[in-house]
Structure 1
């Protein structure tokens, strides 16, 4: 065999081995490449969905007053949007809003069950009242679980308030989501207490939230950070700093919220009044809210926040009306009460005309 023939023979065997390797690579790509490509597609889709939701979906909803639609959206899309955390970064900021909103949806159901229970008590139906109360506690337990998830995602994104300094906010929405996260923490604890069960919410959440509100500009956010802080002072024994007056702070926050057209401070003020058992103060807050929404329209950018405040004020009014009359606040009469004295009317003396 000549040297040339030997070279050709060896080259042929080499090419054959190369073809074998190429075939193996092709088979591997055929079997496993789809997963790689799919993961790339899923990651890109997840990043796009998260970016779109933050840039457009959340701001759009915040400008809406349709709370029912907001509930439907958050409950229907939360599993889809949160599942993208399996293929890309965890959507922690978006999760705060989703769990705050979906938690509020279930809490609204809990309040409905409470009204049903009060109605059953007035009807002397012990079984019906007990059933409604059981459903109420179940709903509050679920609401607490959702709120607590929102609080955990808040801490994952911004850092635990007790263990980290104030975050640097890139834009107003980041700052608002931070405030919303603080609210989820406080609501998680409140709903857990209402459910009379143990969800695992740390009992120091209230004091943690109160301290964290100092990271927010009070004037910029309608007085709500101070209102939230003052509410914690009013509700937790020993939390009030020396020289502070929680209810005076809440009154100032109320005026700021009324002027801004975002009256969430009314809700905090009302919660503090209810906790103290101050019915007259609670009535005054409800009246003030009713007058304010007639005089000052909601802030265009934050309509949903203001609508949520009104929904919660109506719920408090409904509870008072149901306990005392057996029905909710009459339609269009928020700010009035069953025992209000009729306004005096001027009586014309007809004798003077004769």
Structure 2
């Protein structure tokens, strides 16, 4: 009896334990399977999002003239899109556009602080001017970090620029993003200088970018590659090749940009003129840009780039106006200046009618 009962009790105790062990193993496998499935879903989603952003979101945005919308989009979606790099390949190419645009957002804030500081100086408000300048430097520091991040992603995707070997571009958008990455490098260096702090941007980035523009078709891209290269020549002592004239090249690029309806070369020309300290030339470039806006239609596919060029030149115009009058460029007067001679107004002598 005892020999029979003891094994019976043992069997009844083992079965529940076996079931528990089986359940635990099954649950573990199930959870592991869920993790694998989730990873596959995340990876697929990431790949789709990267492809969609590159092939549709960026081209759609380039056809828009709403710079503020583009700025808000880049700042809001960058963390989401970049997080997919945790589950699939790093989205280096789309990151170039995201951080270039986000850097522009921070630079826009820096320009606003600069204008506030200049206005405060004009009003003899020393404390207000100093506070605005501090905020300006902070914003430029953020801009430099974002631009430099775009530059790093550019190099990760296309390889180290200026080494003599050009990438094999898949299509026009691929080539455009390459050019945008070069621009981000120059912007990173310029913003670092404006911030008066060290972000880690290498000082030779200008010469690297100048060499890398040789990988781009100048006429296809509205004269911008040559304008970018000529700007580097104008700004870095000894960079200009023998027999070249940076400002002649910039003037040629201006014409190409106007005809193409993408007036980005005007921005490079104005920057080179500012660096030279030639305010008269800066004004002439702005006047020419304003004239072209009235006479030359913007390229439908690249309206965003054209609008960006106008926005940057308006910012330069505003700085000149605030420095000299205390207020920005008046509405409807972009392309004119406070010291322009007013055209004589023909008047009628009413005494002759009496």
Q: For residues 167 and 113 of structure 1, what CA distance do their matches in structure 2 show? A: 39
Q: 2 CA distance for matches of 1:27 and 1:315?
A: 62
User: Does residue 299 in structure 1 map to residue 299 in structure 2?
Assistant: yes
User: Which range moved further: 289-298 or 242-251?
Assistant: 289-298
User: In the alignment, is the contact (CA less than 8 A) between 2:100 and 2:184 conserved in 1?
Assistant: yes
Contact residue 162 and residue 209 of structure 2 kept, 8 A: no
- Unaligned ranges ≥5, structure 1: 1-18
Residue 162 of structure 1: CA displacement?
A: 3.5
Residue 282 of structure 2 aligns with which residue?
282
CA offsets 1:98-134 (integer angstroms, 9 cap, x no match): 0010000110000000000001111111111000000
2:245 matched to which residue of 1? 245
Equivalence map 1:149-188=2 (5 Å): 149-163=149-163, 165-188=165-188
CA distance 1:348–1:125, shift in 2 (3 Å): closer
State the match for 2:55 in structure 1.
55
Corresponding position: 1:212 with 2:212:
yes
Local SS of the residue matching 2:187? helix
Instruction: Tell me, in whole angstroms, the C-alpha distance in 2 between the residues paired with 1:164 and 1:249.
Output: 23
- Residue of structure 1 in register with 2:338 after alignment: 338
Residue 30 of structure 1 aligns with which residue?
30
Aligned to 1:132: 132
Is the alpha carbon distance of 1:22 and 1:346 closer, same or farther for their aligned partners in structure 2, counting shifts above 3 Å?
same
Displacement of 1:96 in angstroms is 0.3
1:345 is displaced (CA, Å) by 3.4
SS in 2 for 1:241: coil
Q: How much has 1:232 moved relative to structure 2?
A: 0.2
Secondary structure of 1:231's match?
A: helix
CA distance in 2, matches of 1:168, 1:30: 45
Deviation for aligned residue 1:35: 1.2
CA distance in 2, matches of 1:22, 1:169: 55
**Cα deviation 1:77-113 (Å, max 9, x = unaligned):** 0000000001001111100000010000110000000
Question: Following TM superposition, by how much is the alpha carbon of 1:33 offset from its aligned partner in structure 2, in angstroms?
Answer: 1.6
Deviations 1:283-306 (A, max 9, x none): 000000001011112100000000
The equivalent residue for 2:227 is 227
Q: Which residue of 1 aligns with 2:41?
A: 41
Q: Structure 1 residues 348 and 126, CA, compared in 2 at 3 Å: closer, same or farther?
A: closer
Give the distance between the partners of 2:220 and 2:162, measured in 1 at CA: 24
Match of 1:258 in 2: 258
CA distance in 1, matches of 2:208, 2:162: 7
The count of corresponding residues between Structure 1 and Structure 2 is 337
SS in 1 for 2:144: helix
Give the Å deviation of 1:31. 2.8
SS at 1:51 equivalent: helix
Aligned to 2:7: none
TM-score, structure 1 length as denominator? 0.92
